Structures are given as C-alpha cells and as structure tokens.
Amino acid sequence: MAYVRKRGNSYQITVTFKPAQDMTAEQAEETAFRLADEFDMMCETDRISPEMTLAQFCEMYLDIKKNVLAERTYKQYIVVINNLICKYMGNLKLNEIKIYHVQNLVNILSKSGIKPATIKRKLAVLQSVMKLAENLDLIASTPVKLNKLTMPKITRPKTEIFTKNETSEMLERLEKEPMQFRLAVQLAIITGARRGEIAALKYSDFDFDNCTVTVSRSAYKTTGEPVKTKAPKDNESRTIAVTAEILHLVRMAKIMNRANLNDWIFTDGSGHLLNPQRLSTRFFSFLRKNGFKHRKFHALRHTSATLLLSGGVNIKQVQDRLGHGNIKTTQIYIHCIPEADRTATDILRSMLIKSNNPVTDEDEAIQNAG
C-alpha cells in the first residue's frame, strides 16, 4: 500500500515493501534498497500515472533492468517486449491487465505454432515485467500466475548421449584431429563443461600441480559484435579435476600457440577469442566424416554426466562437477542409464524372490504340468 502526503509544491510518497518469507535479512535489505533506487528513477522520469500503459511501463522496465540483466539476456528481453508483449498487450492500461489477457496471449502464441517451451520462456519476460510493477506498488499483484493459466503441455526432448563404446571410438578418431579441437572435445567429455565455458578457458585456469581446471566464465556471440564473456550459468565458478592426458594437451596447445599473448586457449585465425558456434560446426563435420550419428556438441556434456552416474559417482558430486544450480537438473540423466533400470530390477528380485534358480523352477513346473 502506498501513502501520499502533499508537502508544498511536491508530494511525499511512502511505499511499504514486505520481504518474502524465504528471504534472509541481508537479502531483504538489499532488495529494499534496490526497489527504492528504482522508485526514485521512476519519480525522476515523471512517468507514474494511473493511465500508464503496459508499453510505457515496459520502456521504464528496460531502463531499470539495463544494468541488472546480462547483456545477452537484456537484448533478448528487448526483442520479446517489442515484438510480442507491446504488440499484443502494449495499449492495455497497466493496472487493468487481468489473467485472461495473459491467457489470450498464450492462446495466440500456441495457435501460431510456437513450441510450448518457447511460449513459457517468452511468458517469463512478461512475468518479470509485471512482477516489477507489483514490487513498485503500481499494481496490486501480477496477473501472470502460471498456476491459473492453461499452458500447452511441454514434452521434454530426449536427452542425446553417446554410448560408452561410441565415446571410446570417438576419442580414438580424435587422434587425427587438430590440437585445439581434440582438446575441446576431450574437455567436454571429461569435465562436462558447457560449450561456451570451454571456449572461454585460459591456460591460467589450469592448475598443473593439482590436476584441476577452474571454470569461471562463458563465451557468447551476438550478431554484429565480437565474442564476449560472462559468468557461467547460475553464476557459479567451479574447479574440476582433469586427467593427465588433458593437461598434456593443454601444454602442447600452449607450445604450438606461443604467438597468443592474451592467454586464451581457443582462438580464431586472428588470435581472437573463438566463437563457441565454431566448436559445434567443427563437431558436426567430425561426426559426419567418421560415420557417427548426428548429435549436438552439448551431447558431450550429457554423455559425461551419464558415464559418471553409471560408474557409481554420487549424484551430488555430478551436480557440482557440471555446475547445475538444482539437483533436479542432474537427476534427468539417471533415466539415460540403461544399467540403472536393470540394477533396480535385480535389487527388487533379490529382496522378493527366494529361489536362486528360476530356470530350474520353470523346468520343474513344465514337467509337473506334463
């Protein structure tokens, strides 16, 4: 609830912020000060009005979030806001938007043939916009409530992996490939790092004494701009144990690339940081040349996780190694392990079935029946 008091030629506006129950005292204080700064900015721009449209608030939202969101995410939000939110809902008054308006947007996107997962991602932008409006007390509550919307069903795509035999054969075929590419693929298999994380590695990230590599950044490319780096997904840097073979390849790559003075391992022909997409393009070519089934470079990350779990590594260790913010993400790999289902069946059998020789039992039953 906001309170207004006239003071001379100006107005004093008091807004109360109630922290969420799961917030710590430090998080609550940080959020309160951030909201205060955002509110000050809005007052200075003189754009608070009961007649404010969603399009007008979106402009304000982007001003506020410009230095908060990652650059790439911010640009993606601009596209969604301009080409979708403002196109279909921009003329609606901010304080008059209801759940059925949001449902109508979902229906429009669904009828347009847009995939359910994509619809959910786009809706997350609108959710962020309306949540900020709620936090600033411009609306009573956000109308983007997923539990009240009828969303198209999302079918989780099958997780692509290479089998243990395919992975072994791949490593053998890599021996004939250029040093940089060999290292990139082996790092993906051994560390489970994401494509952008591998592309952004430096020689100084490797600890040769302790046989580890620290993943602390990720490379990305936007149209018309050079390759840049950002924090890894979930903003968590992590240190991962690597093999002696990996360290040998890193040493060899450094010897062969002495002219590189900026410490990047993976570079283009001009010595600049490599576009991560180049790893995928090179990988597709490698698979085709060697007769492997077409899979994305990211399948190497899935393969790493699956091999670890099938080898008996604790799921929490796999989560930490891959840098998953939520262990539920790691759990999806359990379903990719054929051995896991067989092991589960064998365990139940040993608990419930007393006979140690079911074949003998079957033979006896046939004889008795005859």
Residue 209 has pLDDT above 90, yes or no: yes
Tokens at residue 190, please? Answer: 């051994």
Reply yes or no on whether the pLDDT at 341 is more than 60: no
Tell me the one-letter amino acid at 227: V
Q: Is the pTM of this model over 0.85?
A: no
What is the rounded distance in angstroms from the CA atom of residue 65 to the CA atom of residue 47? 16
Task: State the CB neighbour count (10 A cutoff) for residue 149.
Answer: 16
Spell out where 242-305 has E strands: none
Judge residue 187's burial from the number of C-beta atoms within 10 Å of its C-beta, 0-12 exposed, 13-18 middle, 19 or more buried.
buried
Every domain of the chain with CATH number 1.10.443.10 lies at 164-336
User: In this predicted model, what pLDDT tens digit does every residue of 260-296 receive, in sequence order?
Assistant: 667 899 998 788 899 999 999 999 999 999 999 999 9
31 neighbors 19 (Cβ within 8 angstroms): yes
The Cα diameter of the chain in Å comes to 107
Q: Output the pLDDT for position 161.
A: 85
CB neighbour class for 14 (10 Å; exposed up to 12, middle 13-18, buried from 19):
exposed
Q: Which of 6-15, 28-37, 249-258 has the highest mean pLDDT?
A: 249-258
Q: For residues 11 and 5, is the Cβ–Cβ distance under 8 A?
A: yes
> Which DSSP helix (H) or strand (E) runs through 4?
strand 2-7
Distance CA 215, CA 247 (A): 15
pLDDT at 369 exceeding the cut of 60: no
Task: Tell me the percentage of the chain whose pLDDT exceeds 90.
Answer: 49
In the chain, residues under CATH classification 1.10.150.130 are: 24-148
Closest to 276 measured CA to CA, from 288, 265, 290: 265
- Non-local CB neighbours of 188 within 8 Å, separated by 6+ positions: 195, 198, 297, 300, 301, 304
pLDDT at residue 292, as a whole number: 93
Mean pLDDT of the chain: 84
Rounded to 5°, angle at Cα 180 from 174 and 186: 50
Q: Over 90: is that where the pLDDT of 357 sits? A: no
Contact 238, 215 (CB under 8 A): yes
Beta bridge partners of residue 93, listed in sequence order: 53
Radius of gyration of the chain (CA): 27
pLDDT for position 347: 55
* C-beta of residue 234 within 8 angstroms of C-beta of residue 325: yes
Residue 140 is inside which H or E element, if any?
none
- Paired tokens of 199: 């592309």
Identify the residue whose tokens are 């710590």.
24
Which has the higher per-residue pLDDT, 3 or 154? 154
Asked if the model's pLDDT at residue 124 lies above 90, the reply is yes
Place of tokens 């900026």: 262
> pLDDT tier at 318 (50, 70, 90 boundaries)?
confident
Place of tokens 């990719």: 336
223 DSSP assignment: T
Which of these, 191, 166, 321, 170, lies nearest to 246 by C-alpha position? Answer: 191
CATH class, 164-336 region: mainly alpha
Cα 107 from Cα 101, distance rounded (Å): 10
Tell me which fold the domain 24-148 belongs to.
DNA polymerase; domain 1 (1.10.150)
Residue type for position 255: I
